[in-house]
Amino acid sequence: MTTELSSYKIRYRPTRETFNSGFTIEGGTTLRLSNNSRDDTQKRDTADCLAERILDHERRYEYSVWEHGNYFVFDKDTGEPFEITVEDEDIYLHAKATTTSTTFRNFCSLVFEAFDSAYALQENSRRLRS
């Protein structure tokens, strides 16, 4: 698994424009960590494991939970926020306007270590409005 910063590039930052009728999001970048392990010996909830092994264990993160598996995270080392969504065994990292590739790379490295590198990285960036 490569840990080059280019693998974690934030291609489109979520930006918001305010209009009289509300707001629109201009784009976004999400990293998907998909579980490639076929080992069913440890059937623990991925969201609980993520919170226990990384968010609670690593003192660099402050976070809040608004629903099981949905976290708003602040990296105290870089001063940058991002969001996490856990769906089944997959972990999605959603960039905020100030999230950098360094923050994503650092977090993903912890996931790879905590989950014995069972995860593969996929990036999805798109501009929502031209």
Asked if the model's pLDDT at residue 69 lies above 90, the reply is yes
Supply the pTM of this predicted model.
0.77
Residue ranges and CATH numbers for the domains of the chain are 29-123 (3.30.310)
Asked if the model's pLDDT at residue 130 lies above 70, the reply is no
Task: Show the tokens assigned to 106.
Answer: 């650092």
Asked if the model's pLDDT at residue 126 lies above 50, the reply is yes
Highest mean pLDDT among 11-15, 52-56, 111-115, 121-125: 52-56
- CA atoms in the 13 A half-sphere facing the CB of 107: 33
- In the chain, where do the E strands start and end? 16-19, 22-25, 27-35, 61-67, 70-75, 80-87, 90-95, 119-127
